Structure 1
Amino acid sequence: MMQQRNSDILVIIPAYNEEAALAKTVHELKRHTPYDFVVIDDGSKDRTPDIIRKEGFPSLRHAVNLGIGGSMQSGYRYADRGGYRYAIQLDADGQHRPEDIAKLVQEITSSDYDMVIGSRFVAKSSYRGSLTRRIGIFYFHQLIRLLTGIPVHDPTSGFRIVGRAAIEQFSRSYPTDYPEVEVLVSLSKQGCKIKEISVEMRGRQGGTSSINWTKSIYYMMKVTLFSLIRKSFS
């Protein structure tokens, strides 16, 4: 069921087993922004659905876990049906600071960019992250630069805003899992304009990441293969 639209901007919050951080993330969002939001509960098996019901958060629930790509596509379909002009991805784990949303909004509304990414690395920040994560980010930075010529410094960042054209496109088609890099390659091939701006990011505010070594290797292989296919045939 659609909520009454009070803004032209929708914040999409994908959540899978985020009982430890979800409520804090949403309340912080509400303190710092006036925008509509929707939580996409991706088949959580912990108390996430109970928290959503208790707090009365606008939400959609998947009966089974579809992954981040499926969650974001559901969010973009919701934004498309609601007629939103812009959509923002905000992770439920509290790593993104809601006060930085204003920077994303200012950048995209005052320009002709199709996507603006909140980046940990386009300028000096306090974020460090694990060695494994930094190696993966650098790998995808190099891959995207090779395939598109665009130097995206933080290609795995899930903190991003898109405009109406991208909302309509993503509501129809979106990579099923680990979509962040594939989306950048796809948009750049269409001539879309992408920009990074510097934001601060924090460590997880609760819970644990679902990404491990095995999934990281699969992620790198899968994204590389599909990005090469998109480069060759799009």
Structure 2
Amino acid sequence: MNAPDNLPVNHPLTPASRDAADAVAVVIPSYKVTRHILGVIAGIGPEVARIYVVDDKCPDGSGAFVREHCVDPRVVVLEHAENQGVGGAVMTGYRAAIADGARVMVKIDGDGQMDGSLIPAFIGPILAGEADYTKGNRFFNLERLGAMPPLRLFGNAVLSLMTKLSSGYWDLFDPTNGYTAIHADCARYLPFEKISKRYFFESDMLFRLNILGAVVADVPMDAVYGDEVSNLKISKIVTEFFTKHVRNFGKRIFYNYYLRNMSVASIELPLGVLLTLFGAGYGLSHWIASARSHVETPAGTVMLAALPVIMGVQLILAFLAHDVASVPRRPLHKKTLYRSTP
């Protein structure tokens, strides 16, 4: 990351201070946020060496607005020729930050919902070698949840459950939280071209990170809602999110339990599903036949239907217990550093 000329010795872009800051970069997707973007930039502390504002074909010309009104020398404005969504904007920022030598990249929104003073809390676990990726969790402080609209509260709870299943990170919550940080050595392994570019971006990132075996940690933060306007329409993304979660769940199970490794859990899941479906189907067909003939179902038939269901459910629960225990615990970027050590 090259610093501009004639900067003060203690400026975040000078070589000495950059070493102390471990080359932290911030990526800000910019779309219809001209009212808030300058305040967001001003709230970013000296621990950050470079700020990438990515104008995602903003109709308000936020990129030109930042160039004209922002005097912070850390700011670099990147522009898309066409709108790519929040995920596409973040990937553009990641690529630029990695190319400039960033070690940790923080993503915050430009609408003022995310407190820039929390950046040290997000990069701390990564720089300490405890995590590859950190994300905000607005549900940690239960006393402050009153600030979150009820519909978002319910929606996040449902999305969290689906994301746990599809991503395999059972110890995380608030999956759609866009306040994140990632180690560059971990980001280099991500298939940028395959990650969802729209509103499914955060959930898809977790799925991709689990496939890599990256360690992800939640960072407590408060929910903040002001006069920002959300471009997310819940009614339009429910079906899309559900379909993509099912797809990612299937991929994760195949990759982690059959392609890369096999264990007892690889047998428990399909056998449990088959037994449950057989028992349920067998019992339902005999129940319908008995109802039509007005003849009570024999006890032996009931047991023959119930036993596979009981066994199947137990096997599925055993698989889930194994899956919960398999959450990655050793940071990926530490493994990368070990491999690169002469």
Q: Same fold (TM over 0.5)?
A: yes
Q: Is the 8 A contact 2:43 2:116 kept in 1?
A: yes
Deviation, 1:95, is: 0.6
Q: Is the 8 A contact 1:12 1:39 kept in 2?
A: yes
1:220 matched to 2:241? The reply is yes
Of residues 115, 138, 150, the one that matches 1:120 is: 138
- Whole-angstrom CA distance in 1 between matches of 2:189 and 2:225: 31
Unaligned runs of 5+ in 1: none
- Whole-angstrom CA distance in 2 between matches of 1:166 and 1:78: 15
- Whole-angstrom CA distance in 2 between matches of 1:219 and 1:152: 22
| Correspondence for 1:92 | 110
Deviation, 1:4, is: 3.2
Equivalences for residues 80-159 of structure 1 within 5 A: 80-124=98-142, 126-127=144-145, 128-147=147-166, 148=168, 150-159=170-179
Deviation, 1:193, is: 0.7
| Correspondence for 2:230 | 209
Report the count of equivalent residues.
Answer: 231
Deviation string 1:152-190 (CA, Å, 9 cap, x unpaired) is 111111111110222213474432222101111221232
- Larger relative contact order (Cα-Cα within 8 Å, sequence gap ≥ 6): 1
- Whole-angstrom CA distance in 1 between matches of 2:153 and 2:169: 21
Q: Is the 8 A contact 1:33 1:99 kept in 2?
A: no
Amino acid at match of 1:21: H
1:64 matched to 2:64? The reply is no
1:189 matched to 2:208? The reply is no
Q: Is the 8 A contact 2:25 2:48 kept in 1?
A: no
Q: Is the 8 A contact 1:42 1:64 kept in 2?
A: yes
- Whole-angstrom CA distance in 1 between matches of 2:185 and 2:57: 28
- Whole-angstrom CA distance in 1 between matches of 2:2 and 2:69: 15
Q: Which stretch shows the higher mean deviation, 134-143 or 10-19? A: 134-143
Report the structure, 1 or 2, having the larger helix content. 2
- Whole-angstrom CA distance in 2 between matches of 1:111 and 1:122: 23
Of residues 194, 197, 202, the one that matches 1:180 is: 202
Deviation, 1:218, is: 4.4
Deviation string 1:207-232 (CA, Å, 9 cap, x unpaired) is 41101233332442343244234324
Q: Which stretch shows the higher mean deviation, 48-57 or 114-123? A: 48-57
Aligned sequence identity (%): 20
| Correspondence for 2:50 | 36
1:199 matched to 2:221? The reply is yes
Deviation, 1:3, is: 6.0
Question: SS in structure 1 opposite 2:189?
Answer: helix
Amino acid at match of 1:104: F
1:165 matched to 2:179? The reply is no
**Structure 1 segments of 4 or more deviating over 4 A?**
none
Amino acid at match of 2:132: D
Deviation, 1:149, is: 5.2
Change (3 A) 1:213 1:164: closer
Unaligned runs of 5+ in 2: 5-12, 256-342
| Correspondence for 2:295 | none
Q: Is the 8 A contact 1:76 1:171 kept in 2?
A: no
Change (3 A) 1:219 1:25: farther
Change (3 A) 1:180 1:123: same
- Whole-angstrom CA distance in 2 between matches of 1:149 and 1:78: 28
- Whole-angstrom CA distance in 2 between matches of 1:226 and 1:78: 30
- Whole-angstrom CA distance in 2 between matches of 1:33 and 1:82: 16
- Whole-angstrom CA distance in 2 between matches of 1:96 and 1:125: 18
- Whole-angstrom CA distance in 2 between matches of 1:26 and 1:219: 33
With normalisation by structure 2, the TM-score equals 0.62
Change (3 A) 1:79 1:197: same
Change (3 A) 1:175 1:166: farther
- Whole-angstrom CA distance in 2 between matches of 1:141 and 1:133: 12
Of residues 62, 75, 80, the one that matches 1:48 is: 62
